[in-house]
Amino acid sequence: MDRIVKEAIDCRAVIEKVTGEDRGAVLTFAGTVRNTNLGRTVLSIDYHAYESMACKEMEKLEEETAARWPGVKVRIVHRIGKLEPGETSVFIAAAGAHRDESFAALRHAIDRLKEEAPVWKRELYEDGSEAWLEGS
């Protein structure tokens, strides 16, 4: 399964990558495109990535999270291309024996992804203007 995709994210497939009989807490995070940002109407967001580096960073983040929370497995998938409001841009699944460490791992994964992955977004607004936004 690719970590960077150009089509809609198969959330069920991401979840299946982390589940197991020893993992009773299966948690997910779905980041979706909002229709407003800072008081402006957003028509779409165009996501770009340095794909090979982004995939390496995501894999590294998954390994880092597993080392920090032993027994928790995390999988991250990010979509690139033009997305409209309501579409999922990033999906993360985390599964562990218990919810506390699974929640902590999931929060760590999305926070670090925003800081480290070479993924950029350009918002397109109703008035015809656009803006490149920072990841975090």
Please name each of the domains of the chain with its CATH number: 4-128 (3.90.1170.40)
Tell me the CA distances in angstroms from 34 to 7, 96, 132, one per residue in order.
18, 30, 15
Q: Are 124 and 42 in contact (CB under 8 A)?
A: yes
Task: Flag whether pLDDT at 1 surpasses 90.
Answer: no
E strands, 50-115, where? 73-79, 81-83, 88-96
Indicate the average pLDDT of the chain: 96
Give the three-state DSSP class for 103.
Answer: helix
Question: Mind listing the pLDDT tens digit for each residue in 26-76?
Answer: 999 999 999 999 899 999 999 999 999 999 999 999 999 999 999 999 999
- The radius of gyration of the chain's CA atoms, rounded to the nearest angstrom, is 15
Q: Model's pTM, two decimal places? A: 0.94
C-alpha to C-alpha distance for 100 and 78, rounded to whole angstroms: 25
